[in-house]
Amino acid sequence: MNILVTGGAGYIGSHTCIELLNAGYDIVVVDNLDNSNIKAIDTIKRLTGKDFPFYQYDMLEADKMEEIFANNKIDGVIHFAGLKAVGESTQIPLRYYHNNITGTLILMQLMEKYDVNNIVFSSSATVYGMPKTVPITEDFPLSTTNPYGSTKLMIEGIMTDASKANPKLSVTLLRYFNPIGAHKSGDLGEDPKGIPNNLLPYVAQVAVGKLEKVHVYGSDYPTVDGTGVRDYIHVVDLALGHLRALEHCSDKEGVHIYNLGTGNGYSVLQIVDAFSKACGKELPYVIDPRRPGDIAECYADAAKAKNELGWVATRGIAEMCEDTWRWQSKHPNGFDD
């Protein structure tokens, strides 16, 4: 089976490419490297010992995207490509809508033209907005709090409408919780540009000495220790969830929706503690005010993916931090080292 991976040079896409190749899939990757590095592609090839076509194209360029479909027999698509920074999306919303929505429309029109009938999409727990309770099941009400999240919810709707109109189409919407961790080699991991927005890359850069201390956003939430609780999931577990989704859903028409999380929540201070153990030193932190828009707790009910896909996340928080630390300490400046 030949899978087109959009955004395959990015953090989650690159780890998924490795698992796809190791499982015997063929892949074709497209990424404009807007938020990634060509070295990720070289590393995928080196770690797997396998070659594949890579197109440094922008998904917004329909002619170039068509070249990929015309020159490769594509059996299915995993669609990671998109802009993903919540804060930035409030500053340049039109770019987010154009990139994420138009890119998806071009992709899906080409799928229709070339009779490619299955797609797995990177959605997000952000589509649950401000959930009233936890754990979150797939049938919770959907809403969004920022343009990035709105692009995810709109794309879910676009894909659902497309599947109603095309009975052959299989759509799988995977709602990720908080992906962290890195490949065991320590040579592939998250490489954010500039100062990280997300907790784990920030903590990792404090550990390696690039940032001074962790800023904990709020300690007065109704949680175990007052700090925000999230469902952190190892990126390799997440990658494997895509393989299970492809195996299970690709020949089943309609829309299939799964949370990909562990079902466990950890607080910010528990993460700082786990990372301190992984890197062997106490990490300095300071308590700051809450970050606007944050919720107290967010974690998955992961039962549906377990029952229907036979998928569970097996890597715990210690392993997530150890693997992040191996990547960060081996490559303090990410792929530029």
Tokens of 152: 């995810």
Tokens of 318: 């210690």
**Is 118 in a helix, a strand, or coil?**
strand
The Cα-based distances of 160 to 81, 111, 218, 298, 330 in angstroms read 19, 15, 37, 25, 42
Q: Which of 11, 25, 128, 148 is catalytic?
A: 148
Dihedral angle at the C-alpha atoms of 267, 261, 281, 198, nearest 10 degrees? Answer: -80
39 lies in the binding site for ligand NAD (CB under 6 A): no
296 backbone dihedrals φ, ψ, rounded to 5°? -70, -50
DSSP designation for 187: S
Binding range to ligand NAD, per CB under 6 A, among 6-14, 161-169, 219-227, 306-314: 6-14
Dihedral angle at the C-alpha atoms of 256, 237, 117, 57, nearest 10 degrees? Answer: 130
Residue with tokens 């404090």: 206
CB of 273 to ligand NAD, least distance (A): 21
Question: In terms of CB distance, is 123 or 267 closer to ligand NAD?
Answer: 123
Write out the binding residues for ligand NAD, residues 159-188 only, by CB under 6 A.
176, 178-179
Contact flags string 226-265 toward ligand WQD, x per CB under 6 A: --x-x-----------------------------------
158 lies in the binding site for ligand NAD (CB under 6 A): no
**Is 311 in a helix, a strand, or coil?**
coil
Contact flags string 18-57 toward ligand WQD, x per CB under 6 A: ----------------------------------------
Total binding residues toward ligand NAD, as defined by CB under 6 A: 28
7 lies in the binding site for ligand NAD (CB under 6 A): yes
Write out the binding residues for ligand NAD, residues 260-299 only, by CB under 6 A.
none
Q: How far apart are CA 235 and CA 123, in angstroms?
A: 15
81 lies in the binding site for ligand NAD (CB under 6 A): yes
Whether 148 is catalytic is yes
Q: How far apart are CA 23 and CA 16, in angstroms?
A: 11
Q: Is the dihedral of CA 35, 39, 40, 45 positive or negative?
A: positive
Binding range to ligand WQD, per CB under 6 A, among 49-57, 93-101, 192-200, 324-332: 192-200
Task: With beta carbons less than 8 A apart as the criterion, state whether 121 and 175 touch.
Answer: no
Active site residues: 148
Residues that bind ligand WQD (CB under 6 A): 84, 86, 124, 126, 178, 197-199, 202, 215-217, 228, 230, 268, 291, 294
Residues that bind ligand NAD (CB under 6 A): 7, 9-13, 30-36, 58-60, 80-84, 99, 103, 122, 124, 176, 178-179
